[in-house]
């Protein structure tokens, strides 16, 4: 089996790290707008309002808001078949709880989608990529509160109706399973635990609200346009048992079950034994409303979008490594990026096989890539051979998953196809792009765009449908 002829090659971004224009066009604040700038290796500081003298990277980000035409032209030059972006929820509903949307916000995305379609680029849209409106956090307690289900449903219906002839591929919540993995699920769920709050109880109840919200969005979306393909989005933590000690195997399965918890509800449409065992392990009771189980069963996703950056190992004595969301055990066979993320292309092949074996729905790799420091040479060139090497090996690995293992794969959108702000650290110097953006960690720079060496390499990869690597 070869990669499909209409394989969706492209790149991925998110409004909170790329769009900017945070107070323009009637937009309200979202959770990222109160998160401070570059913090290497430590949690970023979060305020509950904007301090005049502090630097917030999301406010301008890398300015897609004003430069979308120039950027989309560059994506078209690379031959993108699709482009993953997110809609900033608070651009459409500035507070999150309004009855009517902000027309100016809707018009902005009309212009963006039209520009993409002009070049034959299919938009792939995440509905909530670390984008909960700040008012919903401050006044409602964010996803702890069941009311957010209705607010999210209203937002989804609004954009589904508005863009029903422009956008076909959607995803509900970015890296939704990440909220169970982090000590502070601010990005995924808009939650910072209060003193004394039971973490598992809170986050699994909040997750239930997100599951119901996702299911309602899927049901509404399919009614509005039966051709819509609506996926969930998981972060996938390929994990190897550290040794053949059976205890390490059990530990590995325990780690994976946190991810399957989210996959099972989205794809199988119910809380499976994997899920209920997580409840019982952590003494959690989920409060459901009548009809919730039917909604989950009816609102199953069409595909799984997932991110894959690195793998980890599971064993009691494994040294710990840390990503932005996930932790893992250090694997002595693997090299690491400058940010300590283990480079493991074969782990992507494993991820594809594990997900496809378990769920039997099409898969879409919607994030993958290597954060690295790039140097602009005296002649203006940026020779990012390390990035090419990383991506080439990962592409080989997913091609094997398709060609040898016969996994159903829809497409590939490497993360941060144009440089943008790091979600984990707020840095600019941690770059993923094929296109360089002149901006530094203090927010200084001309914002000028410049293709890197990888830009020309990826263009040929797409042109040859992955044959020329
Ligand atoms: C994923 C997120 O976790 O990883 C992205 O979906 C994020 O938003 C990406 O940017 C890379 O992580 P980081 O921390 O290097 O930006």
Instruction: Answer yes or no: is the C-beta of 14 below 6 A from any ligand 1 atom.
Output: yes
The two structure tokens encoding residue 425 = 């650290």
Instruction: Answer yes or no: is the C-beta of 325 below 6 A from any ligand 1 atom.
Output: yes
Is residue 196 helix, strand or coil? coil
Element (H, E) at 297: helix 292-298
Instruction: Answer yes or no: is the C-beta of 424 below 6 A from any ligand 1 atom.
Output: yes
Atom of ligand 1 nearest to the CA of 235: 3
Residues 6+ apart with CB under 8 A from 9: 79, 80, 81, 82, 411, 412, 413, 461, 462, 465, 466
Instruction: Answer yes or no: is the C-beta of 175 below 6 A from any ligand 1 atom.
Output: yes
> How many other C-beta atoms can be found within 10 angstroms of the C-beta atom of residue 284?
18
Instruction: Answer yes or no: is the C-beta of 284 below 6 A from any ligand 1 atom.
Output: no
Residues 6+ apart with CB under 8 A from 168: 122, 225, 227, 228, 229
- Supply the pLDDT for residue 41: 65
Shortest-distance Cα residue to atom 15 of ligand 1: 422
Residues 6+ apart with CB under 8 A from 136: 95, 96, 97, 142, 145, 148, 151, 190
Pocket mutation for ligand 1, best pick of 423, 426, 429, 432 (most atoms within 8 Å of C-beta): 423
- Supply the pLDDT for residue 316: 80
Is residue 246 helix, strand or coil? helix
CATH number for the domain including 387?
A: 3.20.20.80
Q: What pTM was estimated for this model as a whole?
A: 0.98
Is residue 278 helix, strand or coil? helix
Pocket mutation for ligand 1, best pick of 367, 372, 425, 430 (most atoms within 8 Å of C-beta): 367
Q: Give the Cα separation of 443 and 447 in Å (integer).
A: 10
Instruction: Answer yes or no: is the C-beta of 430 below 6 A from any ligand 1 atom.
Output: yes
Pocket mutation for ligand 1, best pick of 57, 237, 324, 373 (most atoms within 8 Å of C-beta): 324
Q: Is residue 3 domain-resident?
A: no
Instruction: Give per-residue pLDDT as tens, 106-129.
Output: 999 999 999 999 999 999 999 999
Q: Give the Cα separation of 188 and 411 in Å (integer).
A: 24
Domain interval for residue 341: 8-463
Q: Is residue 469 domain-resident?
A: no
The torsion defined by the Cα of 346, 349, 351 and 357, in degrees rounded to 10, comes to -140
The two structure tokens encoding residue 74 = 């560059």
Task: Please say whether the beta carbons of 371 and 341 come within 8 A.
Answer: yes
Rounded to the nearest whole angstrom, what is the distance from the C-alpha of residue 305 to the centroid of ligand 1? 14
Q: Is residue 51 domain-resident?
A: yes
Q: Is residue 430 domain-resident?
A: yes
Low-confidence ranges of the chain (pLDDT < 70): 40-42
Q: Is residue 2 domain-resident?
A: no
Rounded to the nearest whole angstrom, what is the distance from the C-alpha of residue 280 to the centroid of ligand 1? 31
Instruction: Answer yes or no: is the C-beta of 324 below 6 A from any ligand 1 atom.
Output: yes
Q: Is residue 1 domain-resident?
A: no
Q: Identify whether 367 is a catalytic site residue.
A: yes
When divided into structural domains, the chain yields a total of: 1
Instruction: Give per-residue pLDDT as tens, 34-87.
Output: 998 877 666 788 887 888 888 999 999 999 999 999 999 999 999 999 999 999
Q: Which residue has the tokens 């997913």?
A: 398
Atom of ligand 1 nearest to the CA of 416: 10
Catalytic residue among 35, 153, 175, 181: 175
Task: Please say whether the beta carbons of 279 and 286 come within 8 A.
Answer: yes
Q: Is residue 16 domain-resident?
A: yes
By the 10 Å C-beta count (0-12 exposed, 13-18 middle, 19+ buried), 59 is classed as middle
Shortest-distance Cα residue to atom 16 of ligand 1: 422
User: Is the Cα dihedral 399, 405, 411, 413 positive or negative?
Assistant: negative
Pocket mutation for ligand 1, best pick of 307, 424, 433, 441 (most atoms within 8 Å of C-beta): 424
Q: Identify whether 131 is a catalytic site residue.
A: no
Task: Please say whether the beta carbons of 432 and 414 come within 8 A.
Answer: yes
Instruction: Answer yes or no: is the C-beta of 181 below 6 A from any ligand 1 atom.
Output: no
Atom of ligand 1 nearest to the CA of 14: 8
Instruction: Answer yes or no: is the C-beta of 422 below 6 A from any ligand 1 atom.
Output: yes
Q: Is residue 378 domain-resident?
A: yes
Query: H helices then E strands: how many in the chain?
Result: 14, 14
């Amino acid at each position: 089996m070869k990669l499909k002829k209409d394989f969706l090659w492209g790149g991925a971004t998110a409004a909170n790290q790329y769009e900017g224009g945070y107070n323009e066009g009637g937009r309200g604040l979202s959770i990222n707008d109160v998160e401070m700038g570059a913090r290497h290796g430590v949690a970023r500081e979060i305020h509950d309002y904007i301090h005049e003298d502090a630097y917030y990277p999301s406010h301008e980000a890398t300015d897609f808001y004003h430069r979308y035409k120039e950027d989309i032209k560059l994506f078209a030059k690379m031959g993108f078949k699709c482009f993953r972006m997110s809609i900033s929820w608070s651009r459409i509903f500035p507070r999150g709880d309004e009855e009517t949307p902000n027309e100016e916000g809707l018009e902005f995305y009309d212009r963006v989608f039209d520009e993409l379609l002009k070049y034959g680029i299919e938009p792939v849209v995440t509905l909530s990529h670390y984008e909960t409106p700040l008012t919903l956090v401050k006044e409602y307690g964010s996803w702890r509160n069941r009311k957010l289900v209705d607010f999210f449903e209203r937002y989804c219906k609004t954009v589904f109706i508005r863009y029903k002839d422009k956008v076909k591929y959607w995803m509900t919540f970015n890296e939704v399973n990440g909220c169970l993995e982090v000590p502070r699920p601010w990005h995924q769920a808009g939650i910072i635990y209060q003193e004394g709050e039971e973490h598992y109880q809170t986050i699994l109840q909040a997750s239930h609200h997100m599951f119901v919200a996702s299911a309602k969005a899927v049901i509404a979306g399919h009614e509005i346009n039966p051709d819509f393909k609506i996926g969930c989005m998981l972060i996938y933590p390929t994990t190897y048992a550290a040794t053949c000690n059976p205890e390490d195997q059990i530990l590995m399965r325990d780690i994976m079950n946190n991810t399957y918890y989210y996959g099972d509800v989205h794809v199988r449409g119910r809380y499976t034994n994997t899920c209920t065992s997580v409840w019982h392990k952590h003494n959690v009771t989920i409060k459901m409303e009548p009809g919730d189980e039917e909604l989950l069963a009816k609102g199953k996703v069409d595909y799984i979008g997932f991110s894959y950056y690195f793998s980890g190992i599971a064993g009691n004595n494994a040294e710990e490594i840390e990503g932005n969301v996930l932790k893992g055990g250090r694997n002595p066979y693997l090299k690491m990026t400058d940010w300590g993320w283990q480079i493991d292309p074969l782990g992507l092949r494993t991820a594809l096989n594990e997900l496809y074996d378990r769920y039997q729905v099409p898969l879409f790799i919607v994030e993958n890539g290597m954060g690295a420091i790039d140097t602009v040479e005296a002649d203006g060139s940026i020779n990012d051979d390390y990035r090419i090497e990383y991506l080439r090996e990962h592409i080989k690995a997913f091609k094997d998953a398709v060609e040898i293992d016969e996994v159903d794969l829809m497409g590939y959108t490497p993360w941060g196809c144009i440089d943008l702000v790091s979600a984990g650290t707020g840095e600019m110097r941690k770059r993923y792009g094929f296109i360089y953006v002149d901006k530094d960690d203090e927010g200084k720079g001309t914002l000028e765009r410049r293709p890197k060496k990888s830009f020309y390499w990826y263009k040929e990869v797409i042109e040859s449908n992955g044959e020329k690597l």
